[in-house]
Amino acid sequence: MKTKAAVLHQVGGHKRPYSDSKPLKIEEIELGKPGKEEVIVQVKAAGLCHSDLSVIDGNRPRPMPMVLGHEAAGVIVELGEDVKGFELGDHVVFAFLPSCGHCEYCMSGKAALCNPGAKANNEGVLLNGDIKIKSQSGETYHHHLGVSGFAGYAIASIYSLVKIDKSYPFEIAALFGCAVMTGVGAVVHTAQVHVGESVLVVGLGGVGLSAILGAKAAGASKIIAADVSHSKLDVAKEFGATHTINSGKEGALEELKQEITVSGVDKSVEFAGAMPALDFAFNATKKGGVTVTGALPHPDARLSLNPLTLVGQEKSLKGCYLGSCVPSIDIPNFLELYKNGNLPVDKLITHRLKLEDINEGFERLASGEAIRQVIIFD
């Protein structure tokens, strides 16, 4: 099957603005036939995420060339062999880490740590190790996190897909594959925010704002939004933040611990991907509290931490990937919360694009002018 796709040929080295340098090339690609437990999905909507941007700018090295895109939703149009649980015409959301279902982590309910899934993602292949994307000249193109959603059609393992009710708009459903799953999951699963607790959210992109929605749905008493961008702080109030603070200004930590709270927050979650942001989140967490980071900084980044603080204050620092979710369970559940009005994620969408406008979209994302931009396919 032939389809148009956005292909990245080089990690890093692209000059800004991306609207001029155009790191992503719109090409016609060839998808192979779906094999065992694989399907072809007609992509209907795909979100532009900072994780995609991190591949473009070199912060997340991946094998090249690659068809990018990992937050998407669509319709199954072709079935491979031995496909169970899915039928032609099913509406699906892609999960950016396939869950094999039988490794030690999947068996213990920790799908976000699936070993075969992580290996496949690192190598740019499907879960079974195959690569099913080629250029028109026959060059192999890698898969991005088992999705490669910046294309009219995508081939995927059924273990990268979650079937959803057909009533949900595709542009909304796509957000649950990354932004919403990660942000809400970090709050309710990793941090385990309880009713009445105070929560700090540092980094107010699509994931951070989703975390604010999750904290509100979880019944947090105080939701403090932190960023170095004044415009993002204003937006956070619309999502349910009770307080905002510029984490980069002098005296910000003292203000949070002495004026907004008594001695710090019960739980903090960080999605900025910068060490000063994580440092702020950890130091803003009170004794016995939990700090969660779901960001993906450059692999060379290092955190300076005094172990005495962990011991003497019984604080916890936890990592979070995929929102610590089981996609097949949590995506439908979170969609129900959206349906009931408890997760108004439609507020995240600031721009709707065509595939041909993708480089302009990533420049907008890099400059902080957008929250979630969604490519709408015909």
Tens of pLDDT, residues 70-86: 999 999 999 999 999 99
Going from N- to C-terminal start, the domains of the chain cover 2-177+344-376, 183-321
Query: In b/e form, how buried is each residue of 114-137, taking b as 16+ CB within 10 angstroms?
Result: bebbbebbeebbbbeeebbbeeee
The pLDDT, as a whole number, for residue 296 is: 87
Cβ distance 17 to 363 under 8 Å?
yes
> Contact at 8 Å (CB) between 269 and 226?
no
Q: How far apart are CA 45 and CA 43, in angstroms?
A: 6
**Taking all residues of the chain, what is their mean pLDDT, rounded to a whole number?**
97
pTM value is 0.96
Q: What is the pLDDT of residues 38-63, one digit of tens each?
A: 999 999 999 999 999 999 999 999 99
Q: Domain 183-321: give its CATH architecture.
A: 3-Layer(aba) Sandwich (3.40)
Q: Say yes or no to pLDDT of 360 above 90.
A: yes
Q: What are phi and psi of 138, to 5 degrees?
A: 95, 5
Q: Is the pLDDT of residue 7 over 90?
A: yes
- The CA dihedral of 156, 44, 112, 266, to the nearest 10 degrees, is 180
Q: Which residues of 157-178 are buried (b: 16+ CB within 10 A; e: fewer)?
A: bbbbbbbbeeebebbbbbbbbb
Q: For residue range 23-35, what is the model confidence (pLDDT) as tens digits?
A: 999 999 999 999 9
Residue 299 has pLDDT above 90, yes or no: no
**Confidence label for 304 from pLDDT (cuts 50, 70 and 90):** confident
- Cα–Cα dist 142/148, whole Å: 8
Residue 320: Cβ-neighbour burial (10 angstroms; 0-12, 13-18, 19+): buried
Cα distance from N-terminal residue to C-terminal residue, the chain: 17
* Each residue's pLDDT tens digit, 186-227: 999 999 999 999 999 999 999 999 999 999 999 999 999 999
Count of residues making up the chain: 378
> pLDDT digit string (tens) for 104-142?
999 999 999 999 999 999 999 999 999 999 999 999 999
CATH homologous superfamily, domain 2-177+344-376: Medium-chain alcohol dehydrogenases, catalytic domain (3.90.180.10)
CA 142 to chain centre: 19
What is the Cβ-side half-sphere exposure of residue 175, based on CA atoms within 13 angstroms?
30
Q: What is the arithmetic mean of pLDDT over 287-296?
A: 96
Q: What is the pLDDT of residues 240-272, one digit of tens each?
A: 999 999 999 999 999 999 999 999 999 999 999
Residue with tokens 């610590």: 324
